[in-house]
Chains A and B, each alone.
Chain A
């Protein structure tokens, strides 16, 4: 059974701080990793993807991957109230897999 674990939160950070969201996964065959953001009452939208060990930066967002530890994280620098949402971690196992496995999400609140 493939599992993706996230702390459900809520995680509260003050505006301007760094928000750190963490995710672990059970399937060692996972090759692709994604972070989706979901605002309340809205659909998920992809904000970051990462495939290799290390860091990947995109604006205020940095995804970090450690396959040996089966761990992926998302850092949000200079957090803004508009970043308040639920962040879903997802993994894709191997080439030819059509199935994303999602974690239950971490709710982030950025306090002005």
Chain B
């Protein structure tokens, strides 16, 4: 069983569209994250949720809205997609978050291409 699974793996869409990426973890972790990795491989945190509560909201356009229906799921909805949104988006989870033993488990990534 995949520990952190996200769908879809590839997403090709036109500018201005709205799209969602789904993420689920079956590890029983309390904390989930969304990271964005740009073409230069720079991995940057976007959001973090702990037990369904938003704890990190980095400087991200408000077109990006995370939603956590329960602690095993963290979805990412993106409105009015722009060319600059093209990147790989990784979902991740960790046991407790904030501890010194911070091991992130990553999903396989969603390659978003905005045309």
Contacts and interface: CB of A to CB of B under 8 A. Distances in A.
Given A43-B107, A98-B56, A99-B48, A32 B42 contact: no
B103 A43 contact: no
Contacts of A102: 42-44
B61 to A, nearest CB: 19
Contacts, number: 57
A43 B48 contact: no
A51 B101 CA distance: 9
A64 to B, nearest CB: 18
Contacts of B109: 42-43
A34 B103 CA distance: 9
A49 to B, nearest CB: 7
A24 to B, nearest CB: 16
A32 B102 contact: yes
A98 B31 contact: yes
- Main SS of chain A's interface residues? strand
Interface size class of A (residues with CB under 8 A): 20 to 34
Interface of B: 31, 40-45, 48, 50, 55-56, 90, 97-104, 106-109
16 contacts: A31-B100, A32-B101, A32-B102, A34-B102, A34-B103, A36-B104, A43-B106, A44-B43, A98-B31, A98-B56, A98-B98, A99-B45, A102-B42, A102-B43, A102-B44, A104-B40
Given A34-B102, A42-B108, A96-B98, 18 more contacts: A36-B104, A43-B90, A43-B106, A43-B108, A44-B90, A44-B106, A46-B104, A49-B101, A51-B100, A86-B41, A88-B43, A95-B99, A97-B98, A98-B31, A98-B50, A98-B97, A104-B40, A105-B41
